[in-house]
Amino acid sequence: GAGVSQSPSNKVTEKGKDVELRCDPISGHTALYWYRQSLGQGLEFLIYFQGNSAPDKSGLPSDRFSAERTGGSVSTLTIQRTQQEDSAVYLCASSLGHGDQETQYFGPGTRLLVL
C-alpha cells in the first residue's frame, strides 16, 4: 500500500493513562501533519513536521500533547494523562514538499476514546 498508514485504528483508554499514536507517511514525503477531528471542534491542526523538525506546534492544545518524528519518516503523537475531552479521531497527513501548494494526503485516522 502506498498511502499514509496509522496505528492503532482504535484505542480505548482510561482517564489519566498515556497513549501513543503512530503515523507512517507516504514514502519520500518530507512533510507530515497531525490533525484532530472531534464533534465539538471539527477538524483542527495540531502540528507540522518538515523533516524531523517541527516548525509549527501552535495547534497542540496543551503541554500534555507532544509529537516527534524520527528518520524523516515515522511520527508518534503522545498524549499524557489523557482526559475525556481528548476523545477524537486523530488524523495524520503527509505531503511531498512543504509549500502551501502541496497536496496533503490523509491516513484513515486513529479513533481515541477516553473513558
Partner 1 sequence: AQSVTQLDSQVPVFEEAPVELRCNYSSSVSVYLFWYVQYPNQGLQLLLKYLSGSTLVKGINGFEAEFNKSQTSFHLRKPSVHISDTAEYFCAVVGFQKLVFGTGTRLLVSP
Per CB under 8 A, the list member of 27, 53, 84, 101 interacting with partner 1 is 101
Exposed / middle / buried, residue 111 (Cβ in 10 Å: 0-12, 13-18, 19+): middle
Give the residue, chosen from 4, 54, 60, 112, that forms a contact with partner 1 under the rule CB under 8 A: 4
**Residues in 80-99 at the binding interface with partner 1, rule: CB under 8 A:** 91, 93, 98-99
Nearer to partner 1, 9 or 83 (CB): 9
According to CB under 8 A, which one of 23, 24, 48, 112 is a site residue for partner 1? 48
CA 113 – CA 105 distance, rounded (Å): 24
